[in-house]
Amino acid sequence: MKKYNVAICGATGAVGETMLKVLQERNFPVEKLKLLASYRSTGKKYKFLNKDIMVEELTKDSFKETEIALFSIEAELSKEFAPIAVENGAIVIDNSSAFRMDKDVPLVVPEVNPQNVLWHNGIISNPNCSTIVMVVAINPIHKISKIKRIVTSTYQAVSGTGREAIEELKKQSRAVLDCEKVISEVYPVQIAFNTLPHIEDFFNNGYTKEEMKMVFETHKIIGDDSIKITATAVRVPVFTSHSLSVNLELESKLTGEDVREILSKAPGVIVMDDPGNLIYPTVLNSSGNDLVYVGRIREDNSIENGINLWVVSDQLRKGAATNAIQIAELLMEKGLI
Amino acid sequence: MKKYNVAICGATGAVGETMLKVLQERNFPVEKLKLLASYRSTGKKYKFLNKDIMVEELTKDSFKETEIALFSIEAELSKEFAPIAVENGAIVIDNSSAFRMDKDVPLVVPEVNPQNVLWHNGIISNPNCSTIVMVVAINPIHKISKIKRIVTSTYQAVSGTGREAIEELKKQSRAVLDCEKVISEVYPVQIAFNTLPHIEDFFNNGYTKEEMKMVFETHKIIGDDSIKITATAVRVPVFTSHSLSVNLELESKLTGEDVREILSKAPGVIVMDDPGNLIYPTVLNSSGNDLVYVGRIREDNSIENGINLWVVSDQLRKGAATNAIQIAELLMEKGLI
């Protein structure tokens, strides 16, 4: 079996470290692994298959022998370095928003639109975390009964912001419990024991970037921009895993039982839905796992053909690292690398 | 000014203690205050207007001279003791679900349906906390442009469950931060750093009691059961104040600016909506206050005449204690006691 020279760009971030973990867990055929990060992280060491790998500085010379470059860095840096990696012959799988809405760049969730890896020009975008989680759960339903409208409200974990946000939640939680002063550095408002209806910058229409990503990226991934979507994205004091309350209006009637059956056969989905026996997904079920958990499946009689879902998934894994590595696996399977 | 003999039934609970606080803050004209609770809480002392009041055991003889009885006890106990209080000549304002859907019992939010106190038969019900918070925010909109449909997802605080849940969240949070074993006694699953899509028991239709209360109680309070409503109720690791993501479909078009104007003049509502300047409500704004905070007001273009709102309010106060005492004030204003 061919092995590949892989680089992780942004290796010391929350997603980058998860990429390192997932590559090992999934026995990805790595020939040589490069860990790249900004200058201040160079020298840091990580274990990979029991060998120490030193983090190197990301420069324009980083990609000389790289075949697969997994990027999880700021969008501005992706814009700078992804073309360089491609020039060096690598395929870039980019977790930033830099290229997601670019017509020449596929935006791929392997369970939903695997065919789109076929037409890449060197860069494939990894979608927004909340969007990945949602589309894995709803696309199987959409294939049976077209989704007309989605109303979603999210409950998002701080690790989506990065490692410093995890530390902030820990520190602030302790401060609140100890009745000490709470200091907010990462978020504009205290996140510990609070809800924060603000994820990424605001547009003039009053929506955040995060909320609009759930609209535009869902359209691009599912390949159907007739689906009407509205989102409210909220940060909650949770370390890892995003939860989503998803309300669907379908074109034709599906019962709750129909949806349970469809989703129980769907790739990447696990149905946990027996509330009478206290079986419904929470963050604790999904964190550290690669699947999208769906429960609280209910017919919504406030509208014709309505369905409510509760969807939970580890956004560092399926919502980021795992999805990126699944894209690489798909490229291998299809003989594209 | 006439003063009243008031009893708080369930005085040692999270809502009962808030009732005691709110009575003082609002200078409610109390002649004599009785604090009633179960046998195991008797002897506990509370300060009221600088005097110590001893908690007495709730018995059928508790209401001899009571004129206003504020009940915040289990529904089963309300069913037992409210009629006794009424027989003794008291008006009962009951915070449990015992009588809420009873045709002979008004369900009142003073900002929304004050006229309904007129026809009580001794008992007036205080609505469910999430429902109060929602109707205060949406009724002013409904009066201008009829609401056709509501899709809401809640982010509910643990103090809604009671004091023992506050302690559980504190203990579990410390255990997680200290990497110690987490013990769940109040909730079926860990609540610290988790989201729990389960508030109250499940019905056969897959919805919880809490979710169905938001449907039926909203209909009764607003007096319009043609409003279509679907709710997903979720517990989050927050001590006090419920947050709600509310999506509205209106009969006729209102812009975001229209809604801001309507709500800025609405009783009991405060608009906090300038997201570009980081102004939006969070739990920290509302906790300890009596108003319903609304922000993130946005037109929802996924449907004709759609509006999204983010609503936050202290559910122990406006969602329970304050609303009950406002009902008592209304009875005084209208000369009904």
**Which of A198, A206, A306 faces B230 most closely, judged by CB atoms?**
A306
Reply yes or no on whether the pLDDT at B275 is more than 90.
Answer: yes
Q: A299-330, pLDDT tens digit by residue?
A: 999 999 999 999 999 999 999 999 999 999 99
Reply yes or no on whether the pLDDT at B44 is more than 90.
Answer: yes
What is the mean pLDDT of the segment spanning B86-113? 98
B303 to chain A, any CB pair closer than 8 A? The answer is: yes
- Whether B205 and A299 lie within 8 Å, measured CB to CB: yes
In A, which residues are within 8 Å of B296 by CB distance?
197, 206, 232
Please calculate the CA angle B293-B297-B303 and round it to the nearest 5 degrees. 135
Question: B274: pLDDT confidence band, cut at 50, 70 and 90?
Answer: very high
The minimum CA-CA distance between B275 and chain A, rounded to whole Å, is: 7
pLDDT at position B272: 98
- Whether A193 and B283 lie within 8 Å, measured CB to CB: yes
Question: B1: pLDDT confidence band, cut at 50, 70 and 90?
Answer: confident
Reply yes or no on whether the pLDDT at B208 is more than 90.
Answer: yes
The minimum CA-CA distance between B291 and chain A, rounded to whole Å, is: 17
H helices then E strands: how many in chain A?
Answer: 8, 13
Question: Which residues 144-183 on chain B approach chain A with CB closer than 8 angstroms?
Answer: 149-151, 153, 155, 169-170, 173-174, 177
For residue A6, the cross-strand partners are A33, A68
What is the mean pLDDT of the segment spanning B265-294? 97
What DSSP character marks residue A35?
Answer: E
- Whether B308 and A197 lie within 8 Å, measured CB to CB: no
Paired tokens of B19: 């009732």
Q: What is the pTM of this model?
A: 0.97
Reply yes or no on whether the pLDDT at B197 is more than 90.
Answer: yes
Please calculate the CA angle B56-B60-B64 and round it to the nearest 5 degrees. 80
In B, which residues are within 8 Å of A281 by CB distance?
197
Residue B274: helix, strand or coil by DSSP?
strand
Reply yes or no on whether the pLDDT at A1 is more than 90.
Answer: no
Please, are residues A295 and B197 in contact by the beta-carbon 8 Å criterion? yes
Instruction: Work out the mean pLDDT of chain B and round it to a whole number.
Output: 97
Q: Give the dihedral sign, CA B101/B103/B106/B108.
A: positive
Q: A149-191, pLDDT tens digit by residue?
A: 999 999 999 999 999 999 999 999 999 999 999 999 999 999 9
Which helix (H) or strand (E) segment is B297 a member of? strand B292-300
Please calculate the CA angle B227-B229-B230 and round it to the nearest 5 degrees. 170
Output phi, psi for A204, to 5 deg: -65, -25
> Does the active-site annotation cover B120?
no
In B, which residues are within 8 Å of A210 by CB distance?
none
Q: B180-195, pLDDT tens digit by residue?
A: 999 999 999 999 999 9
Nearest CA in chain A to B202: A276
- Whether A283 and B194 lie within 8 Å, measured CB to CB: yes
Nearest CA in chain A to B287: A194
A260 to chain B, any CB pair closer than 8 A? The answer is: no
Site of tokens 């897959």: B206
Q: B222-267, pLDDT tens digit by residue?
A: 999 999 999 999 999 999 999 999 999 999 999 999 999 999 999 9
CA distance A327 to A115: 11
C-alpha count within 13 angstroms, C-beta hemisphere, residue A97: 12
Active-site residue, selected from the candidate residues B9, B120, B142, B242 = B242
Reply yes or no on whether the pLDDT at B285 is more than 90.
Answer: yes
Please, are residues B88 and B60 in contact by the beta-carbon 8 Å criterion? no
Quote the ipTM score: 0.97
Q: A9-61, pLDDT tens digit by residue?
A: 999 999 999 999 999 999 999 999 999 999 999 999 999 999 999 999 999 99
What is the mean pLDDT of the segment spanning B145-157? 98
Question: Which residues 62-91 on chain A approach chain B with CB closer than 8 angstroms?
Answer: none
Q: A250-282, pLDDT tens digit by residue?
A: 999 999 999 999 999 999 999 999 999 999 999
- Closest to A244 (Cα-Cα) out of B245, B181, B132: B245
pLDDT at position A156: 98
Length of chain A: 337
**Which of A202, A230, A297 faces B308 most closely, judged by CB atoms?**
A230
A310 to chain B, any CB pair closer than 8 A? The answer is: yes
Question: A95: pLDDT confidence band, cut at 50, 70 and 90?
Answer: very high
High-pLDDT (> 70) share of chain A, %: 100
Question: B76: pLDDT confidence band, cut at 50, 70 and 90?
Answer: very high
B193 to chain A, any CB pair closer than 8 A? The answer is: yes
The minimum CA-CA distance between B216 and chain A, rounded to whole Å, is: 12
A335 to chain B, any CB pair closer than 8 A? The answer is: no
Please, are residues A118 and A336 in contact by the beta-carbon 8 Å criterion? yes
- Exposed/middle/buried for residue B61 (C-beta within 10 Å: 0-12, 13-18, 19+): exposed
- Which CA distances in Å does A1 have to A23, A335, B232, B292? 16, 12, 48, 62
Paired tokens of B248: 């509205």
- Whether B282 and A205 lie within 8 Å, measured CB to CB: no
